[in-house]
Structure 1
C-alpha cells in the first residue's frame, strides 16, 4: 500500500515491505533497507542502507517529529482518503476529523456560518482534557456532524467546510 508523507510543502509517496532482516522503504523504483532500533541504554538508532545514526522520534496524531544529525524534521502522515478527496477537487482541510476519541463539550458554529482560519469551531473532551478544534482555513461550514454531549471515535468527521472556490 502506498502512503504519503508531507515534509514541509513537499509530498513523498512511499511503500513499506519486509526483507529478511529489516523493513524495506520503496519510493518510485528505489528501495532501501531501514531499521529502527532501541539500545539497552534507551537511545534510538535508525539504520538506512547500512548507515546507523542516533535519532529522537516523537509522534502526535499524524505528525511525526524526528531529530537526526542535529536537524529537526516534522513529517505528517496523510490518510489515503484525504489524498483522494484532494484529487477529486476537495481538500483535506475541507474535512475536520477528531484527533482522538472523545465527546463534544461546545459547538460554536453551524451549517452555513462563514468562518476564518483559526476560529474556534468546537471544543471536545478526551480523558478529562479539553481540546479546541479551530478552522484550518477561511470557508463556510457545510455540515456539523455532532452535537454537544455526543461521543465519537478517533478520525470521526466532526465537521466539513465547503470546498474553496
Structure 2
C-alpha cells in the first residue's frame, strides 16, 4: 500500500506491505527495508529496522505519532490520507510551521524574524522529557515569527517557528 508520511515536516512517500510474523516490507525510492514493532512490559516499543532494534516511546494525537528514542530524539510522524484532496496542501503547509513534537521548554533560539535560513540549519533547541532536541529548517526560507523565547514553556504541537518564502 502506498502511504505518505510527514516526518518532522519533510514528506516521504513509502510503499508498505505486510509480511509474515508482523514484519512490514517498506520501499522508499530505491531503498528497501524491513520493520517490526513489539510492545515492551514498561510501555515502550521495541522497533526493529533491518534487524537493528531500538526501544522507543510512542504517543498519538490525531493523525500524528510522536516517536522518542535516546538515539534519534523526538520525531513527529504524520500519516497523510492520499485519498483526501487536500493531502498535498497539508504537506506543503507543514513545512512552514515548526511544531513542538512534545511539551517542553525552549533552551536556545538561533534565529530571529527576518533571518534567511537554509535546509537543515538549526533554528531552535527544546528540552522535553530531559532530552534536548534541535529543530532545523525543513527548507530554504525566511523566518516569519519565532513564537517562544529561551525559558518559555510550550504545549504539544505548539508552533515554535513560522517560516515564509525567501
In the alignment, what sits opposite 1:128?
130
Runs of 4+ in structure 1 deviating by more than 2 angstroms, as ranges, are 4-12, 51-55, 57-65, 76-80, 83-91
Q: Distance in 2 between matches of 1:160 and 1:11?
A: 31
TM-score (structure 1 length as normaliser): 0.54
Q: Distance in 1 between matches of 2:100 and 2:122?
A: 14
Moved more, 99-108 or 83-92: 83-92
TM-score (structure 2 length as normaliser): 0.54
In the alignment, what sits opposite 1:109?
111
Contact 1:112 1:142 in 2 (8 A): yes
Could you report, residue by residue, the CA deviation over 1:82-106 in whole angstroms, capped at 9, with x for unpaired residues? x959528953111110111100001
In the alignment, what sits opposite 1:9?
13
Q: Distance in 1 between matches of 2:87 and 2:146?
A: 18
- Seen in structure 2, the aligned counterparts of structure 1 residues 11 and 99 have a Cα distance that, compared at 3 Å, is farther
In the alignment, what sits opposite 2:140?
138
Q: Distance in 1 between matches of 2:87 and 2:96?
A: 9
- Seen in structure 2, the aligned counterparts of structure 1 residues 100 and 163 have a Cα distance that, compared at 3 Å, is same
SS at match of 2:95: helix
Larger Cα-atom Rg: 1
Unaligned 5+ runs, structure 2: 6-10, 24-35, 38-46, 48-55, 68-76
- Seen in structure 2, the aligned counterparts of structure 1 residues 10 and 123 have a Cα distance that, compared at 3 Å, is same
Q: Distance in 1 between matches of 2:4 and 2:88?
A: 14
Q: Distance in 2 between matches of 1:5 and 1:52?
A: 23
Unaligned 5+ runs, structure 1: 13-47, 66-75
Matched length:
113
Q: Distance in 2 between matches of 1:86 and 1:95?
A: 15
Contact 1:144 1:159 in 2 (8 A): yes
SS at match of 2:111: coil
Q: Distance in 2 between matches of 1:148 and 1:84?
A: 35
Q: Distance in 1 between matches of 2:162 and 2:15?
A: 23
* 1:151 has 2:119 as partner: no
